């Protein structure tokens, strides 16, 4: 084989190694969430305003590369705090944003909304992407299930992103749901219990 073929083979092996490493990390995270589902001793008050702002900043480059307009809409005047593990909550929302960008064609919009309703914090990730068929909506949170890859921008992923998001939401006594229509986009909604003022300072 010539040097070009060797380089191509090495690039393929590098991508496969990356995917395998990512898959193992995801499986380990799911195992940790499953094993410690009832253990909330590590929970601390987390500010969702900061979390959303940080995520929009992190994914700005991905949005530009994909030709997708990414923005945040903070509909609260005060800091919104929930009790949990900040890195897991970050991963929960990050998975939804990553999916939204992945399944939204160039020229589309992805918006992250933060608001409250009574004692619930609500984070929504709304996109103008390809949408999800009704028959698939009931299964998208299943482990290893993937929406039809032929309609996505590119192949990749093992179908664990939404399963991880769902597991994290449940661990934090939250609810993760989806509304979607083919060709019109999707709206993922996370509802989490707000920390009381006294608990926030404990």
Q: Where are the domains of the chain?
A: 42-200
Model pLDDT for residues 17-61, shown as the tens digit of each residue? 766 665 666 666 776 666 655 566 678 999 999 999 999 999 999
Residue 198's H or E segment, with its range, is helix 197-200
pLDDT at 116: 96
Mean of the pLDDT values across residues 127-135?
92
Spatial contact of 108 and 164, defined as CB atoms under 8 Å apart: no
pLDDT at 173: 92
Cβ-based neighbours of 28, under 8 Å, separated by 6 or more? none
- How would residue 14 be classed by pLDDT, with cut points 50, 70 and 90? confident
> CA-CA distance, 69 to 109, in Å (whole number)?
5
pLDDT at 15: 73
Mean of the pLDDT values across residues 58-75?
96
CATH class of the region 42-200: alpha beta
Model pLDDT for residues 153-201, shown as the tens digit of each residue? 444 454 678 888 998 998 899 999 999 999 999 999 999 999 865 454 4
Spatial contact of 167 and 30, defined as CB atoms under 8 Å apart: yes
Of 151 and 133, more confident: 133
- At residue 146, does pLDDT exceed 80? no
pLDDT at 154: 45
pLDDT at 155: 43
Cβ-defined contacts of 35-40 (< 8 Å, 24+): 36/171, 37/167, 37/170, 37/171, 40/83, 40/84, 40/171
Question: What percent of the chain lies above the pLDDT cut of 90?
Answer: 54
> CA-CA distance, 28 to 50, in Å (whole number)?
27
Model pLDDT for residues 75-107, shown as the tens digit of each residue? 999 999 999 989 899 999 999 999 999 999 999
Spatial contact of 95 and 141, defined as CB atoms under 8 Å apart: no
3-state helix, strand, coil in the chain (%, to 5): 45, 25, 30
Q: Alpha carbon 95 to chain centroid distance?
A: 2
pLDDT at 151: 42
Name the pairing type of β-strands 109-117 and 175-181. Answer: unpaired
Task: Identify the three-state secondary structure at position 74.
Answer: strand
Spatial contact of 121 and 48, defined as CB atoms under 8 Å apart: yes
């Amino acid at each position: 084989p010539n040097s070009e073929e060797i380089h191509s083979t090495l690039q393929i092996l590098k991508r496969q190694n990356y995917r395998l490493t990512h898959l193992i990390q995801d499986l380990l995270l799911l195992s940790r969430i499953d094993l410690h589902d009832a253990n909330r001793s590590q929970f601390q008050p987390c500010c969702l305003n900061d979390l959303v702002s940080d995520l929009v900043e992190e994914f700005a480059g991905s949005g530009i590369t994909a030709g997708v307009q990414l923005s945040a809409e903070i509909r609260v005047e005060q800091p919104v705090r929930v009790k949990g593990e900040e890195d897991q909550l970050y991963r929960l929302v990050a998975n939804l944003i990553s999916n939204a960008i992945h399944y939204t064609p160039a020229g589309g919009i992805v918006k992250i909304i933060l608001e409250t309703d009574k004692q619930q914090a609500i984070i929504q990730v709304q996109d103008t992407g390809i949408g999800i068929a009704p028959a698939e909506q009931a299964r998208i949170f299943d482990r290893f299930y993937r929406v039809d890859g032929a309609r996505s921008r590119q192949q990749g992923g093992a179908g664990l992103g939404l399963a991880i998001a769902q597991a994290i939401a449940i661990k934090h006594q939250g609810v993760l749901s989806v509304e979607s229509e083919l060709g019109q986009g999707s709206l993922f909604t996370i509802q989490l219990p707000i920390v009381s003022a006294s608990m926030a300072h404990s």
